[in-house]
Chains A and B, each alone.
Chain A
Amino acid sequence: MFAFVVRRAAYGFLTLLGVLLLLFALFFLYASPHEMARRAVGEKAPPEVLEQWIANHGYDKPKLWNPEHPLDTLLVDHFRRTLSFDFGRSDADGTPITQRLREGMGPSLALAIPSFVLGLLFSVALGLFVAYFRETYIDRMGVVLCVLTMSISTLLYIIGGQFLLGKLLRWFPISGFDASPSVIVRFLMLPLLVSLADGVGGSVRFYRTVFIEEGSRDYVRTARAKGCGDLRVMTHHVLRNALIPILTRVVVAIPFLFTGSLLLESFFGIPGLGSMTVDAIHGNDFATLRAMVFIGSLLFIGAQIATDVSYTLVDPRVRLE
């Protein structure tokens, strides 16, 4: 298994280099530093200001090949600095990106972890419930409800939630964030509810399919034959065996906890990584965007390896070679 992890990690590193190469192609070759400068300082800025901006951000080196110093190019810089987690300064306001990443992680996690855990428990429970009543009208209604909730845009969930629960009923503040423990719950309740409502339809439908497929296996019939009740079959046999597809879906979603939910954070004024990304889009902040893509990919690759390892934990038959 150790050899497996090392091999996966090596391939993961290779993919990470691929991601970096793609970022370089997008942000240095396709959109040249000149274009970035023009978007950052404005279309009508005089050429000296443009040159100044490019020099200030260190984008004035040769891109691919420097005859005098072969290593002093944008390509080498980009790889070296990103891989050592030195993301430099923001293109928009000059603040150090690494520091802002550290500051944004807390609020992002404060929203993401509860919504992840609650969402998982809620949708697995509902999935089990619907699968338990399969081929009855409860099941059919559940599926229709899932499709209905899946057809509503996330934007509408957020706007509707803010309007209904925030403005009309005044249950929760419409937006804002305060990290002190006594009030943080008040601010997080509404985004939590919205993310639950938004995600639950797709997840329940997925888990229902998994449970029903698992429920038609031979061992389930055997369990029934030896006298297990329906409920015990569901929770002890079906749920345990369905852990692999559940894990596949779940572990891969974990990195998104760190990158944060872009929409929720910026709508509800939570100063996390998601808000940071949205600000970067509005401010043409390419450096921050590159950092976010890199971090997101890094975590995603890590999570994929973790998924494979976790299979061995839930299913002793799985051997990683």
Chain B
Amino acid sequence: MEAHVVSNLVVALLLAGAAALAIGVRRNDLWRASAVELARRRPIALGVVGVYLAVALLDSVSWVGGGDAGAGGNALDLHRPRSLIDRAFPLDLDEKSYSAPLASVEFYGGAPLDHPGRHLLGTDILGRDVLHLTLEGTRVALLVGGFTSLIVIPLALLVGVSAGYFGRRIDDVAFFVMSTLASIPNLLLLIALIMAMGRGAVQVCVAMGVTSWVGFCRIVRGETLKLRELDYVQAARALGVSEPRLIWRHILPNLMHLVVITFVLLFSGLVLFEAILSYLGIGIDGSWGQMIDQARDELARDPIIWWNLAAASSALFALILAVNFVGDAVRDVLDPRTLRERQ
């Protein structure tokens, strides 16, 4: 199946999942109260995150055809799948080289542009529109955070709950694997994994998943150990509830707040990490990290090119800041320890 069809299907699945989640939250009083409290505390940060999500989603829905290649455009572009974000920009918007924001001439040399005043954030060395590139980077950033979390959370839940609940041999093995992974410095392990697997978006996400599930797994294991001894679990067991059902109905729901907290706190770290990987040459194509990395040489030019760096790093900064603020609020709302302090 072609890549853009897969991406469209994933978007549909994600939207369906989000709808199911929203219904689930609405039906449960505790979760609904937490969601309302969160929205009350951090309306702006949530709004910012929502904008990023919307851009990434719009950039993930793509199809072939439509549009007009224009006078200076490449007719081949018409046969390439283009997303909704791509379609907001004309196909022949590219210039020859650098141009400043809203400029009407090229930055070096001063040759007239094909589209004077149309580049809100200027163009990069290949003449591509920086605003367009920055918007496309959103999808990469959310992919890094989201896809990696989709690896980390199920893996950590599976290993953590079985180690904590069944104990003995399973616990020993899980504990050994965790301490082995944890004893390798994070960045080195990540580099080793990517070097062995080869470069690419999926590889980077998998490698980040492998390096970051251990911390969460330890928390899950500890919490499960505590939960399985609680009276209500013992009572359920005495009533003859089967073990899979016991885990599913009585243990897992009590771990969900940890899942949400971890997800939000993990997310910003992952996106920031990708920027470092981009500098090391093992990042993901089209990410903000790559734009920032490219800008290193541009600051050494005279006069300097600043709009590329400014666009990518402010997009990154705003997303991370918003997620960090939301993350703090999520922890305050959901963590029972801080709940007690508040009352």
24 pairs, A vs B, C-beta closer than 8 Å: A16-B183, A18-B179, A22-B184, A23-B192, A26-B193, A26-B196, A148-B321, A150-B320, A150-B324, A151-B320, A152-B317, A152-B320, A153-B292, A154-B276, A155-B276, A155-B292, A156-B309, A156-B317, A159-B309, A277-B191, A281-B280, A289-B191, A293-B184, A301-B183
A107 to B181, CA, bound (A): 28
- Say yes or no for A82: interface residue by CB 8 A criterion: no
Interface assignment of B316: CB less than 8 Å from any CB of chain A = yes
Asked if A167 lies at the interface with its beta carbon under 8 angstroms from chain B, I say yes
Q: Cβ of A159: which chain B residues have Cβ within 8 Å of it?
A: 292, 295-296, 299, 309
**Chain A, 254-290, CB within 8 A of any chain B CB:** 255-256, 259, 262-263, 277-278, 281-282, 284, 286, 289-290
Q: Mark A284-321, 1 if CB is under 8 A from B, else 0.
A: 10100110110011001100100000000000000000
B189 and A153 contact, CB distance less than 8 A = no
* Closest Cβ neighbor of A147 among chain B residues: B324
A255 touches B184 (CB 8 A): no
Residue from the list A151, A155, A162, A292 in contact with B279, Cβ < 8 A: A155
Complex contact A296–B185 (CB within 8 A): yes
- Residues A26 and B188 in contact, CB atoms below 8 Å apart: no
The answer to whether B313 touches A156, judged by C-beta atoms less than 8 angstroms apart, is: yes
Q: Which residues of A contact B (CB under 8 A)?
A: 11-12, 14-16, 18-19, 22-23, 26-27, 30-31, 147-148, 150-156, 159, 162-163, 167, 255-256, 259, 262-263, 277-278, 281-282, 284, 286, 289-290, 292-293, 296-297, 300-301, 304
- Cross-interface CB contact of A281 among B281, B296, B320, cutoff 8 Å: B281
Chain A nearest CB from B174 CB (Å) reads 13
Report whether B196 and A30 are in contact in the complex, using a CB–CB cutoff of 8 Å: yes
Interface pair B280/A262, CB less than 8 Å apart? yes
Indicate whether A151 sits within 8 Å of B195 (C-beta atoms), given known contacts A18-B180, A156-B292: no
Q: Given A153-B272, A156-B292, A297 and B184 touching (CB < 8 A)?
A: yes
Chain A interface main SS type: helix
With known contacts A26-B196, A153-B313, A155-B276, A14–B176 Cβ distance under 8 A: yes
In the complex, B275 has a CB within 8 A of chain A: yes
Interface flag for B59 (CB, 8 Å): no
Q: Chain B: which residue is nearest A11 at the CB level?
A: B179
B182 smallest CB distance to A (angstroms): 8
Q: Which residues on A sit within 8 Å (CB–CB) of B304?
A: 163
Q: How far is the CA of A162 from the CA of B309 in the complex (A)?
A: 14
A300 to B180, CA, bound (A): 11
B185 A259 Cβ-Cβ under 8 A: yes
Output the nearest chain A residue to B323 by Cβ-Cβ distance: A151
State whether A293 and B189 are in contact (beta carbons under 8 Å apart), knowing that A148-B321, A286-B195 are contacts in the complex.
Answer: yes
Interface code B187-223, partner A: CB below 8 Å = 1, 0 otherwise? Answer: 1110111011110000000000000000000000000
Q: Are A167 and B197 interface neighbours, CB within 8 A?
A: no
> Across the interface, do A256 and B185 meet the contact criterion of CB distance under 8 Å?
yes
The answer to whether A292 and B188 have CB atoms under 8 Å apart is yes
Q: Let me know if B268 is at the binding interface, CB within 8 A.
A: yes
Inter-chain contacts of A148 with B (CB < 8 A): 321
Given the complex of chains A and B, what is the CA–CA distance between A304 and B197 in angstroms? 29
Q: Are B188 and A259 in contact (CB under 8 A)?
A: yes
Interface set, chain B 276-305, CB cutoff 8 A to A: 276, 278-282, 289, 292-293, 295-296, 299-300, 304
What residues of A have a CB within 8 angstroms of the CB of B328 in the complex?
A: 147
Contact B317 A151 (CB under 8 A): yes
Q: Which residues of B contact A281 (CB under 8 A)?
A: 191, 195, 280-282
CB proximity of B328 to chain A, nearest CB, Å: 7
On chain B, the residues within 8 Å of A277 by CB distance are 188, 191
Q: Which B residues are CB-close (under 8 A) to A19?
A: 180, 183-184
Contact of B196 with A153 in the complex, beta carbons under 8 Å: no
Closest partner residue, chain A, to B319 (CB atom): A151
| Chain A residue at smallest Cβ distance from B322 | A151
Besides A148-B321, A151-B317, A281-B280, 19 new A-B residue pairs in contact (Cβ under 8 A), listed by A number: A15-B176, A16-B183, A19-B183, A30-B196, A31-B195, A31-B197, A152-B313, A153-B272, A154-B272, A155-B293, A156-B317, A167-B300, A255-B185, A262-B280, A278-B280, A290-B192, A292-B188, A293-B185, A293-B188
- Nearest chain A CB to B309 CB, angstrom units: 7
**Alpha-carbon distance between A23 and B193 when the two chains are bound, in angstroms:** 9
Given contacts A19-B184, A259-B185, A300-B183, contact A26 B317 (CB under 8 A): no
The smallest C-beta distance from B217 to any residue of chain A, in angstroms, reads 16
CA separation between A296 and B185, bound complex, in Å?
6
The 3 closest A-B pairs by CB, nearest first: A18-B180, A26-B196, A151-B321
With a cutoff of 8 Å between Cβ atoms, the chain A residues found around residue B268 in the complex are: 151
Cα distance A167–B192 in the bound complex, in angstroms: 35
- Distance between Cα atoms of A297 and B293 in the complex (Å): 29
Any chain A CB within 8 A of the CB of B325?
yes
Report the bound CA distance from A18 to B180 in whole Å: 6
The residue in chain B whose Cβ has the minimal distance to the Cβ of A148 is: B321
Chain A residues in 8 Å Cβ range of B278: 155
